[in-house]
């Protein structure tokens, strides 16, 4: 087994293909989600879940943006006396 030293830590060599993967028994096994690839209903469910996730991300981004705008406005009102 070839060992490389970097920053006082020991790493197995990546040049040997037998040592490249930490668990060789799982290296050639198919992913557990491969069976989903042919099921159109599961594809649809995954796609809808991604859309929902993007929607939530957009709402959070909008909330943060409006909060920053509110803080900036309040600072300007206090600093310069602009009371609306």
- Tens-digit pLDDT string for the chain (84 aa): 555 555 655 555 555 555 555 565 555 655 555 555 679 999 999 999 999 999 999 999 999 999 999 999 999 988 888 665
10 belongs to a structural domain: no
Closest CA relative to residue 73, chosen from 64, 63, 83: 83
Is 26 contained in some domain? Answer: no
- State which residues form the domain around 78: 42-84
| Beta-ladder partners of 6 | 9
For residue 19, being part of any structural domain is answered with no
What local confidence, expressed as pLDDT, does residue 63 receive? 97
Return d(Cα 31, Cα 8) in angstroms, integer. Answer: 35
In the chain, how long is the greatest CA-to-CA distance? 73
Q: pTM for the full model?
A: 0.46
Q: How many domains does the chain have?
A: 1
Cβ contact 12:5 at 8 Å: no
Is 60 within the bounds of a domain?
A: yes
């Amino acid at each position: 087994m070839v060992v490389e030293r970097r920053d006082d830590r020991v790493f197995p060599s990546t040049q040997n293909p037998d040592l490249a993967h930490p668990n060789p028994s799982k290296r050639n096994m198919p992913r557990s989600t491969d069976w989903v690839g042919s099921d159109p209903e599961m594809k649809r469910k995954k796609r809808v879940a991604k859309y929902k996730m993007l929607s939530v991300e957009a709402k959070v981004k909008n909330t943060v943006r409006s909060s920053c705008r509110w803080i900036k406005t309040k600072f300007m009102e206090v600093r310069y006396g602009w009371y609306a």
